[in-house]
Amino acid sequence: MTQTRYAFIKAQWHKDIVDKALDGFCELIPPAQVDVVDVPGAFELPLMARDMAASGRYAAVACAALVVDGGIYRHDFVAQAVVDGLMRAGLDSGVPVLSVSLTPHHFQETPHHMAIYEAHFVQKGREAAEAALGIVAARQALTRQAA
């Protein structure tokens, strides 16, 4: 049976911006087909992605976070760990795990920057939905060819 449900996990750090990715995602995938889970921050995304992917309930899992450069090198380590963990969750589970995890280098909590990144996350959410639909279709085609 083909899965028609998708998981969307979003970090709550900078939630006003990160939540916009879900808005974009749901422009292409109906909200009724999307289970949404909030986690405290980006670092918690891979574990939840692994668990949701391993559940067998989802065609794909999308994860969104904003890891900001606070002027120290820590954000680079966090961002790399998150992306590596998401990739591993997908490879280990066999379910596509997609990242909408961004690390801007000059983010400032000003109305101007907030507006820019909110719009950017809507677009990235759309792109994640396109990727989810595309990889699911490609894998289904591969399965049909092998049959």
Instruction: Please identify every residue annotated as catalytic.
Output: 74
User: Degrees (nearest 5) of the Cα angle 94, 88, 19?
Assistant: 95
For 6, the token pair is 């998708």
Contact 124, 102 (CB under 8 A): yes
| Among the listed residues 3, 75, 93, 81, the one whose alpha carbon sits nearest the alpha carbon of residue 45 | 81
Measured CA to CA, the distance from residue 45 to residue 82 in angstroms comes to 7
